[in-house]
Amino acid sequence: MLALITVFGLAACGSEGGEPVVIPNGDPIEIESEKKITISELQADNAAFVMSCMDDWIELYNDGESEARLNSYYLKKGDKTLLLDDRTIPAKGYIVIRLTDKSPFRLAKEGDSVTLFYRDKAVDQLSFDETIGTNSFGHEGVLPHPTPGYANDEEGYREYLAGLKAPELRINEVVSSNSKYAPVDGNFYDFVEIKNASDSPVDLSKYRLSDKRSELDRYRFPNRTLEPGGFFVVYCSGLEGEDHASFKIGSSGETIYLSSDEGIIDCVTVPGDLARDESYGRSGDKLVYMSNVTPGAENAPGFDTSLLAPAASVPTGAYAEPFRLTLSGEGTVYYTLDGTAPTENSRVYSEPISVSKIASVRTFCVKDGRQSPIASYFYTAGLDHAFPILNIAIKQSYLDGDKGVLNHVDPEYEHECYATLFEEGEVKFEIPCGFKLHGNDSKKGAKQNFQLRFRADYGVSKLNYKVFENRDFDVYNSLLLKGGSEDYQFCGFRDELCTSIVDGVTELSVQAYRPVILYLNGKYWGIYWLRERIDADFCANRLGVSSDSINLTKDYGFSLVKGSLKTFAETVEYCKTHDLRNKEDYDYVMRRVDAASLMDWYICRSYFADTDLANGRFYSSTEDDGRWHWCFFDLDWAMFNNSTESLAKTARNDGNHAIIVALLKNPEFKDKFLKRYASLMKSVLNEQTILKKIDEFVTLMQPEIEQDRAAYGFSVNSWNSAVERLRDFVRDGKRDTNVLIGIKSYFGLSDSEMMNYFGRTK
């Protein structure tokens, strides 16, 4: 039984200041065991037009054996209170409270908590976070279907649907991928069919159609009368015209809204698994899939549910021994093992699949013209790794064939793959994405670096997963897989070592990392570092601005990645032609660059004696002060040559280095630079800190290093020797001594000045 009320703001509701709420007098009742009132379901983002409205709602359930009065009950969110009046709920029945603009509170779709009180006693509470999405939520968690007024199960959902009444002017049929129906000048477009199900003519000019709730008038119907039982087809072509809408329908799923001046009167959420040349629409008061598309005519019979995806006999997970996997589903079951989405041209399942080492299985089924969603299953058998496994499933020809990624150094050359991050027997993320080589000279080595590029063309435009524990970000356009770059034949962690030492303690923008074991099509590829990629999102996250506002340059700063390099190039040129000892000129440059970031880059680069300075990244934003910031990355050639001339070779007068050279001529900046150098040498750029960090990497990698080295023809002994040379770079204070000799020489400092800044002369 469905009991539905709409609660508006009441005089007794809590005030903005959270004043005490007066609970109305009534016959006192006890909360008896047979009169249990609970919050059984709620919906915070009613985008699917549940209950023929788009309001938030809260459902209460009476588990008692007799009718319950609500005169002493109220709902509370924070300091806002909503009284339930002298309403009643039947025994084993429900009441649904709509939260409108006039209600004392609404539910936040990002997460919220609401409590049910009887007098001063809290009797139930529901709390949820952003994972609720547009679903409803109950004590069971996120629910598969909203069931306001009914039980939170499949039967309750069917009863809810049976009780709905479709609007008289309604969205009747929708096609989101059309290649053969209702051609217009030889072209086929997505379309929405509207039906007048009333007994009276309808003036269509009063109505609008849209694919955006925030922009309901994207299409206005023409000045035309639609007779009872009549149909009108709107072509969603992206074109302008009387029967053409300026938007298209996304084949991955989208909601279409029909509205009037009074608001939304109907909406249909087109499912993401709707096949090409298939429609979704009404059969009576139900929404069904239809293989027979009928634009401008009554709908054909359809299917009220989609096929379930094939089930696997073994759950996704890590197993000690190889095994055989069976798939079961209605109709014909298709599957792939190379990461591609299965189609009816894929392998037909007919016998168990042998799983040894690694398997990435993607499968769907087809019956009577219906297609199920794609299911993905991932397994390891007999593998034991200390790090998470990242498996790239890709067509073999796209990996190492003539068209393979491994054989094309073109920076834009990529192929689709299916990436799975697997840790402690669980899939952490799985996503279709682009796979390509990364880097410059490192592309020529045996252990190449790669990029994962998340694009809508592959089905998912971004990865939503918190990849790195020391970052607050959980949305990515791309990620890197670094195998040590040119350092892979030595210690294999030089860049991660140097960047992690300065991460969070300097003003440098540094890529986070985490170790993984990489497999390509089930073949072991070794220890890799999963890294952030420096793109517009990376920079925007650091500044707290939008990615659209980012200017990003590379190399020496004169190759544009995004936005504009105008102010960067102007600043470099200005520094070449002006004496920054002049305050006006100095202030001009300081308004253009983030001085702390600039200093830290030259200090850290010179201390680590990095010799590969051409690969730079610099960024600014039009939404903040516009200053340019320096990224600290690509330290694969650092800590080799323990030279006394590292600062002179780093802060040299060419390219973008003209900025630091000019600034260091200013006494104020020079003083700040030397004090900053001394401060960092005391805190992180020193023997104790670096040796400790090296030991941490050695401990981390030791369980996996033997297999990794063997895969590329190296020994563990050679790795140990490379690590020992890395330690020797700073051991016994030799790096500090050489750095100070170089600083003294570069600036021409006296012994007393050295003592003043560093407490020693060398």
Per domain, the residue ranges of the chain are 4-163, 169-290, 311-381, 567-615+636-758
Distance (Å, whole) CA 52 – CA 50: 5
pLDDT value at 536 more than 80: yes
pLDDT value at 160 more than 80: yes
Give the model's pLDDT for residue 263.
Answer: 82
Query: Picking from 162-171, 174-183, 689-698, which range would have the lowest pLDDT averaged per residue?
Result: 162-171
How confident is the model over 168-176, as a mean pLDDT? 92
Cβ contacts of 49 within 8 Å, gap of 6 or more: 264, 266, 267
- Give the sign of the dihedral formed by CA 41, CA 42, CA 48, CA 50: positive
Instruction: Share the mean pLDDT of the chain.
Output: 89
Structure tokens of 655? Answer: 């390219």
Distance (Å, whole) CA 311 – CA 328: 5
Confidence class for position 55, pLDDT limits 50, 70, 90: confident
> How many residues are there in the chain?
762
pLDDT value at 75 more than 50: yes
Q: Which of 167-176, 277-286, 730-739 has the highest mean pLDDT?
A: 730-739
How confident is the model over 48-69, as a mean pLDDT? 83
Range 205-241 burial, b when 16+ CB lie within 10 A, else e: eebbbbbeeeebeebebeeeebeeebbbbbbbbeeee
Burial (CB count within 10 angstroms: exposed 0-12, middle 13-18, buried 19+), residue 484: buried
- Give the sign of the dihedral formed by CA 738, CA 744, CA 747, CA 748: negative
Give the model's pLDDT for residue 49.
Answer: 67
Confidence class for position 285, pLDDT limits 50, 70, 90: low
* CA 513 to chain centroid: 17
Query: Picking from 30-44, 55-69, 539-553, 609-623, which range would have the lowest pLDDT averaged per residue?
Result: 30-44
How confident is the model over 594-604, as a mean pLDDT? 97
Distance (Å, whole) CA 205 – CA 220: 7
More confident residue, 116 or 291: 116
pLDDT value at 36 more than 90: no
Give the model's pLDDT for residue 304.
Answer: 66
Query: Picking from 373-387, 409-423, 503-517, which range would have the lowest pLDDT averaged per residue?
Result: 409-423
Confidence class for position 720, pLDDT limits 50, 70, 90: very high
Give the model's pLDDT for residue 6.
Answer: 34
Closest CA to 630 of 603, 664, 654: 603
What count of other Cβ atoms lies within 10 Å of the Cβ of residue 294?
17
Report whether CATH 2.60.40 matches the domain 311-381.
yes
How confident is the model over 575-596, as a mean pLDDT? 97
How confident is the model over 505-516, as a mean pLDDT? 97
Distance (Å, whole) CA 331 – CA 310: 10
Closest CA to 235 of 223, 225, 221, 224: 221
How confident is the model over 691-705, as a mean pLDDT? 98
pLDDT value at 28 more than 50: no
Segment 483-486 long-range contacts (CB within 8 Å, at least 24 positions apart): 483/447, 483/448, 483/449, 483/518, 483/525, 483/526, 483/527, 483/528, 483/529, 484/447, 484/527, 484/529, 484/636, 485/439, 485/442, 485/445, 485/449, 485/634, 485/636, 486/441, 486/442, 486/445, 486/636, 486/637
Range 132-149 burial, b when 16+ CB lie within 10 A, else e: beebbbbeeeebebbbbb
Confidence class for position 155, pLDDT limits 50, 70, 90: confident
What would the pLDDT profile of 336-387 be if each residue is shown by its tens digit? 999 888 989 999 999 999 999 999 999 999 887 677 878 899 999 999 999 9
Confidence class for position 308, pLDDT limits 50, 70, 90: confident
Tell me if domain 4-163 and domain 311-381 are identical in fold. yes
- Give the sign of the dihedral formed by CA 275, CA 276, CA 280, CA 283: negative
Give the model's pLDDT for residue 11.
Answer: 28
- Report strand pairing: 169-175 vs 190-196: antiparallel
- Express as a percent the part of the chain with pLDDT over 90: 65
Is the entire prediction scored with pTM above 0.75? no
Give the model's pLDDT for residue 653.
Answer: 81
Distance (Å, whole) CA 549 – CA 572: 21
What would the pLDDT profile of 443-478 be if each residue is shown by its tens digit? 667 899 999 999 877 877 889 899 999 999 889 999
DSSP summary character for residue 199: S
pLDDT value at 33 more than 60: no
Residue 517: enclosing H or E segment and its boundaries? strand 513-520
Q: What are phi and psi of 545, to 5 degrees?
A: -125, 180
CATH code of 169-290, in short, is 2.60.40
Burial (CB count within 10 angstroms: exposed 0-12, middle 13-18, buried 19+), residue 498: buried
Q: Under CATH, to which class is 4-163 assigned?
A: mainly beta
> Is residue 234 within 8 Å of 191, Cβ to Cβ?
yes
> Is residue 99 within 8 Å of 57, Cβ to Cβ?
yes
What would the pLDDT profile of 733-747 be if each residue is shown by its tens digit? 999 999 999 999 999
More confident residue, 653 or 80: 80
pLDDT value at 407 more than 80: yes
Distance (Å, whole) CA 60 – CA 78: 19
Q: Which of 215-224, 289-298, 527-536 has the highest mean pLDDT?
A: 527-536
